[in-house]
């Protein structure tokens, strides 16, 4: 993928250079992304060492989007996930061991081991998810409608992949959100594939943000490989959404792994190696080193704590 702009809406370019975040806030963000990478590496190893048969969808390459939109969710806001949502849970602050235990199917898991990786919920954090493609969009609208009727200033953020844009559910959801002026942020994570088919093979128009304009909703396109873009666009649009105006964001990322661990027959394309410009963790590390942050010490400390914690 080629990205000539950081964030765009029509011809308007929004740059992250006006952000005013200190080193401490970036360290907190980095720890979330690195923790997510540790959790997913652990789960990936677990899938093959324990021969887990159910598919496990990991989010290598989309960490900036997951963490960027969830790390500072306001009190009263809701997040609706989908089948690839481990990053959303980490961003919201769910305990890593509870997530891993849920994937293992043990009673120490977030939902006592009965939900699996795709249907985890946390009522206290106002988080729910479903693996049924497109269903989460209607759920998000329903929650947003309830918030609006209560006169709340809260909003709902719902996540989905580009394959959902080829379904009828997206049209129904965008139409209702626009018609009823619902406070919903639609986050489309475009990683280039729908299982083993490329985006170009499933969609005749790959400018996904344009679909929102059919329903009178502003659509943005963001380079999702750099979390600074995500944080900036979130700060720009939150007041708009809370006023009752839905927004659609296409977040372009690169998939750094196959469709699902344990389903190798669908992993038919070349896997992109991490630690390059397509890796959100690498991009954030490069930026923070320029700020003078000792990344290696942070990583070493987190590795030790995680390994000790998981024993």
Full set of structural domains in the chain with CATH: 7-310 (3.40.50.970)
Cα–Cα distance for residue pair 251/116, rounded to 1 Å: 26
Cα–Cα distance for residue pair 139/158, rounded to 1 Å: 9
Q: CA separation (Å) from 255 to 61, 63, 161, 293?
A: 5, 11, 11, 27
- Residue 290, beta-bridge partner list: none
Q: What's the predicted TM-score (pTM) here?
A: 0.89
DSSP 8-state code for residue 273? P
Tally of CB atoms within 10 A around 287: 15
Q: Are 211 and 168 in contact (CB under 8 A)?
A: no
Per-block average pLDDT, block size 10, for the chain (311 residues)?
A: 44 45 84 94 81 76 95 95 92 94 87 84 93 90 97 97 87 97 97 77 82 93 92 93 96 82 54 72 92 93 90 76
What is residue 54's predicted lDDT score, i.e. its pLDDT? 67
What's the gap between Cα 264 and its chain centre?
23
Residue by residue, DSSP assigns 165-191 as GGSHHHHHHHHHHHHTT--EEEEEEE-
- Would you state the torsion angle of the CA atoms of residues 266, 271, 272, 274, taken in this order, to the nearest 10 degrees? 100
What is residue 131's predicted lDDT score, i.e. its pLDDT? 83
What is residue 12's predicted lDDT score, i.e. its pLDDT? 39
Q: Are 244 and 183 in contact (CB under 8 A)?
A: yes
Tally of CB atoms within 10 A around 270: 6
Side-by-side strand order, sheet with 127-129: 12-13, 7-9, 218-223, 247-252, 184-190, 156-161, 78-81, 127-129
């Amino acid at each position: 993928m080629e990205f000539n702009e950081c964030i765009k809406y029509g011809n308007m370019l929004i740059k992250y250079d006006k952000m005013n975040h200190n080193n401490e806030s970036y360290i907190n963000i980095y720890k979330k992304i690195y923790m997510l990478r540790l959790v997913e590496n652990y789960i990936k190893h677990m899938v093959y060492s324990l021969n887990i048969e159910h598919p496990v969808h990991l989010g290598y390459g989309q960490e900036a989007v997951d963490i960027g939109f969830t790390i500072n969710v306001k009190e009263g806001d809701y997040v609706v996930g989908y089948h690839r949502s481990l990053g959303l849970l980490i961003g919201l602050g769910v305990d890593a061991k509870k997530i891993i235990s849920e994937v293992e199917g043990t009673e120490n898991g977030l939902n006592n081991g009965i939900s699996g990786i795709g249907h985890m919920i946390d009522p206290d954090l106002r988080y729910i998810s479903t693996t049924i493609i497109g269903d989460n969009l209607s759920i998000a609208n329903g929650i947003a409608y309830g918030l609006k009727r209560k006169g709340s200033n809260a909003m709902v953020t719902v996540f989905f992949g580009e394959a959902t844009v080829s379904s009828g559910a997206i049209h129904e959801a965008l139409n209702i959100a626009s018609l009823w002026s619902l406070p919903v942020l639609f986050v489309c994570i475009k990683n280039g594939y729908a299982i083993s088919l490329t985006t170009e093979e499933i969609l005749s128009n790959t400018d996904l943000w344009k679909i929102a304009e059919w329903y009178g909703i502003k659509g943005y396109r963001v380079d999702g490989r750099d979390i600074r873009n995500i944080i900036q666009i979130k700060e720009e649009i939150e007041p708009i959404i809370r006023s009752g105006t839905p927004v659609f964001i296409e977040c372009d990322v690169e998939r750094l792994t196959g469709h699902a661990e344990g389903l190798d027959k669908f992993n038919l394309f070349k896997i992109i190696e991490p630690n390059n410009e397509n890796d959100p963790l690498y991009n954030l590390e490069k930026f923070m080193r320029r700020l003078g942050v000792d990344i290696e010490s942070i990583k070493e400390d987190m590795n030790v704590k995680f390994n000790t914690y998981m024993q």
